[in-house]
Chain A
């Protein structure tokens, strides 16, 4: 179980357009210098997290890392 609304940071390969973040949920997209993007936003629970990961999978977006954001 995850506490309500933990902020997660999800790192993926490639620079995603900003509208992807809005479409996937209330996620803010940041582009990193190494060619990756970080999606940051509140995730209510495990079910929402798995749903989000499945949507990334369905878009063929390569997943690199997924962890609660620092400062939670």
Chain B
């Protein structure tokens, strides 16, 4: 996220300020040390910022810690932007804080705010020196999320840190409570008002104007001690012979202080300087070059320096005195007068400012000035040029804001903007609204507007990125149509649009290629062609990765792993999941799919029989919570739970987990490999509740005579188990037709490459033969099933069949002639793989060292003090803390201590 250095500049008090010891003493009082918040709440022009800058300058003599300064503006209503500037400001003090949060924000996407806040607070705990964070002009904030973040920071700040805030209106904090508990000290309008003595020292001491006490009191009364008013009055008096007359006239007038005095000050400037002030008032931050562009002068630097020297309300934004702005009271009045004097003249000024910013690549400023100039086409050009960069940083809200500010007909006329609107509708779930914008996009595609030639040279890279996006538009239109078709359950439509997208996309158009391949892969899966599905979907994952969408690529791996399991290859599922998880964990912040990867891997490990490792991954997924899981994947967690519980013999627990899976299931995203009702029927059989299982079979309306069909395969294989159980319970005719059904499934699945179903059909066929007493044929059939299954890592698929399967496996071991088959059967019969025990986490899983750190965290010691006692670096301490937090399932020091106390670890 782009951080503006000028927003972090700690203003130095300018020369010629009145010392206000009574206010400084108030800020140096002992109760301020105990407070979390220093609130300076008073009207504009009261001298709030000046007061803080004077206070910090006075502290420099006696070092009392560092100052981090943020000049808050309206854009900080984006909470991530706000936090990015807070972190950047804190880092200007040399404190190594917010590194993880910053990395998370730079990784793109909407980093979860709770993660940003907790990691920042944890980092602040390691800062030894006192620190004041200044939020200047906090009244600019209206967004509730930013207020929430502020509340969190105030609650969790380490004791050595305080927040000082200047604002024109009180922030939405529990001020009365904070006041009464001493958590806040405040300075308000009455405190900041100049006393007669302070007015005297401004007018006569600092400005040396020689004003009589009577006139000083008259000015103080007329301005009500308002700092801006007194300052302007002083400027008006300077060099005037008839001070008395000025004061009398001013005091006798009812005119608003600012209007009266700014006119006085302007009238006293030379005509060319007055012109300079009025023309440059349209600018926000300005430097000499920009001022020259809008005024046509060539000596702006000298003018700006002279204005500063004469105290004419310019504020330096950096120490090198390159960037300036007008005091906002002054700027607003100038703009008002400028418009009054020449209502149409401001457009040219804005146009010049827009051009100056555009050729320097400052597109947001260029867009704002261009829009203010009323230049629609030029503004639309600039928005198109800004779009690729904003999208790469996932600043979708910024794009939306820019596009919505444009006149509707301009958006319609531009394919790049119209297709963005289509995407925007799609993201809002407005499927009907998408097509209108796509049609508009296509209608205009033949004649895309060209960017003005004067922007092409200075903005070469932006133009190239924009042209590339325009080339991709036809493919993206087809992708969005596939998306709508899929959301509506229209498989042929999805395939047709996805094919068209692939045909239209160039070899390097990774995003449309990846998205289209993803749709085709899912469609192939839905039709039962798993080998093609794996191929195409694998390409989709690779393209998404090439397009830079790591979270998308890793999330798609969950689906790809599902496909590999259908192919009878849990070993391959495990390999790609472990690789993806390794990559996801290398990310500074949990991705939106990290939890889903843990769950998918847990399910594969369960199939391998590595139950302890599976449980550890389930715990990891639970700790990450919903933020690390896509809504369409949430049911997988409960299905994996059910599998693990079943393997452990807890069938009641497994059934409850299946109920939870059913509640969380979102249909329509992926083919349903294991429909929940059939999973439940299998558990009922295992629990001996044959009646319930038979009831499922009647409801599901499937018969052994149904032809094998891919979507129903799982249910048909479930039906075979129902019949087996019925036969074992004494229903002699229950197995009629079952052998044929299983042979049919094995043949059909074998022909389509669905090896997973082939294995399952064969193992059930073996059980049917065994139940019928044909022991030899049963062993032969089982041996055949084991050939592919065991090397691929299948285990629970067999063992979940319980005693009949174990018996058959034992008979195979004792009586079979094929050494390889015997070895495979032995592997299934062996206890949990020995490697499994080592990966267990016993108890809380905290090491001795971590327990030692945990006990230190429970004290009042600061991070650096703890590090010192334990003879480790602060960084090592931070690593220990992070591990402890992860193991306790918390994310702050305070929560860790509480959790540890609850569990008796201290």
Contact = CB atoms under 8 A, between A and B. Distances in A.
Contact of A20 (B44, B253, B259): B259
A66 interface: no
Given A14-B254, A14-B256, A58 B168 contact: yes
Contacts of B336: 17, 19-20, 22-23
Interface string A9-27: 0001111111110110000
A17 B168 contact: no
B169 A60 contact: no
Contacts of A14: 254-257, 259
A61 B258 CA distance: 9
A60 B255 contact: no
Contacts of B335: 23
A50 to B, nearest CB: 9
A29 to B, nearest CB: 10
A15 B255 contact: yes
A58 B332 contact: yes
B339 to A, nearest CB: 6
Interface string B334-352: 0111011000000000000
A31 B259 CA distance: 14
Nearest to B228: A60
Contact of A57 (B169, B254, B258, B340): B169
Contacts, number: 62
A60 B258 contact: yes
Given A14-B257, A17-B259, A20-B259, A59 B337 contact: no
A25 to B, nearest CB: 12
The residue among B169, B228, B336, B339 with the most chain A CB atoms within 10 A of its own CB is: B336
Interface residues of B, number: 25
A17 B256 contact: yes
B226 interface: yes
A13 B168 CA distance: 18
Contacts of B226: 60
B332 A59 contact: yes
A54 to B, nearest CB: 8
Nearest to A61: B256
Q: Which of A16, A57, A59, A61 has the most CB of B within 10 A?
A: A59
B44 A59 contact: yes
B259 A60 contact: no
B109 interface: no
Interface in B29-48: 43-46
A60 to B, nearest CB: 4
Interface string B182-226: 000000000000000000000000000000000000000000001
Interface string A25-52: 0000001000101000000000000000
B256 A58 contact: no
A57 B339 CA distance: 21
Interface residues of A, number: 20
A31 to B, nearest CB: 7
B339 A23 contact: yes
Contacts of B339: 19, 22-23
B329 A59 contact: yes
B670 to A, nearest CB: 43
Contacts of A37: 256
A9 to B, nearest CB: 17
Nearest to B45: A60
B256 A19 contact: no
A60 B44 contact: yes
B471 interface: no
A14 to B, nearest CB: 3
Contacts of A23: 332, 335-336, 339-340
A58 B73 CA distance: 13
A17 B259 CA distance: 7
B301 interface: no
- Name, among A14, A17, A18, the residue most crowded by chain B CB atoms within 10 Å (CB to CB): A17
A55 B825 CA distance: 81
B44 A31 contact: no
Contacts of B673: none
Contacts of A61: 256, 258
B72 to A, nearest CB: 14
A16 B259 contact: yes
Interface in B224-258: 226, 228, 253-258
Interface in B308-367: 328-329, 332-333, 335-337, 339-340
B680 to A, nearest CB: 51
B372 to A, nearest CB: 14
A62 B44 CA distance: 10
Contacts of A58: 44, 168, 328, 332
Q: Which 6 A-B pairs have the closest CB atoms?
A: A14-B256, A19-B340, A23-B336, A35-B254, A60-B44, A17-B259
Interface of A: 12-20, 22-23, 31, 35, 37, 57-62
Given A16-B256, A60-B45, A60-B329, 14 more contacts: A12-B256, A13-B256, A14-B254, A14-B256, A15-B253, A15-B255, A17-B255, A17-B336, A19-B340, A22-B340, A23-B332, A35-B254, A60-B258, A61-B258
27 contacts: A12-B256, A13-B256, A14-B255, A15-B253, A15-B255, A16-B259, A17-B256, A19-B337, A19-B339, A19-B340, A20-B256, A22-B339, A23-B335, A23-B339, A31-B254, A37-B256, A57-B43, A57-B139, A57-B168, A57-B169, A58-B328, A58-B332, A59-B258, A59-B333, A60-B46, A60-B329, A61-B258
